[in-house]
Amino acid sequence: MNMTDKNLTLKNFATASVAVLMALVLAACESTAEARAETNSETAATDTISATDTMAVEGMNAPQIEGASGTLIINVTGYETQTGQIMVAVYNDEAAFDDEAAPLRDAKVAITAAQTVVTFEDLPAGDLAFKIFHDENNNGELDTNSFGMPKESYAFSMDASDPFSAPEFEESKFILKKGENIRNVSFD
């Protein structure tokens, strides 16, 4: 999968999240999603460790950091099958998160155990938010039904949810502190 396809996949995830909530409100109406502009984002992956899937991700597009930086460790559990991959997009910019623009960092990690751990190193300390989904069939996108509702598990940081649209950055953000920061996500 090239970087453009990966970025479109992350956009499809966010678009599908909005569609799920809107479909509940507009179930009787037919609607179509608008195409989003392509964005660029690059990542490099390192290390796989023992019984759980672990990937340290350092984005090529990461800003030069002066001062405090932290490591974000996301422990993912609760997926129905141990197939496919976990896809994550991390944002430190409200407009990028809300408008589905290029993330600060993104990653995909193959699932081979009951827990998948995704690690992002050298992130700038401060407000962050992430979007995450289980790509069960490894097609690189969040699959949806005919109403645009996701057929694969997804979540946002801080367990954010909104009954009428995808959660906004303000609802999803948390403070990344210097050092290790652990977040747990369960799809059950």
Domain boundaries, the chain: 3-186
DSSP per residue, 93-151: -HHHHHTT---SEEEEEE--SS-EEEEEEEEESEEEEEEEEEETTSSSS--B-TTS-BS
d(CA 118, CA 125) in angstroms, rounded, equals 18
> Would you identify the CATH topology of the domain 3-186?
Immunoglobulin-like (2.60.40)
Task: Give the residue-averaged pLDDT of 150-179.
Answer: 91
pLDDT tens per residue across span 96-152: 999 889 999 999 999 999 999 999 999 999 999 999 999 999 999 999 999 888 899
Complete edge-to-edge strand list for the sheet that includes strand 43-46: 43-46, 53-59, 116-124, 69-77, 179-186
Please give the mean pLDDT across all residues of the chain.
74
Task: Give the residue-averaged pLDDT of 179-183.
Answer: 96
Residue type, 50: S
Task: Give the residue-averaged pLDDT of 76-91.
Answer: 96
pLDDT tens per residue across span 10-59: 555 545 444 443 333 333 222 222 322 232 333 333 233 223 333 444 33
For residue 154, pLDDT over 60 is answered with yes
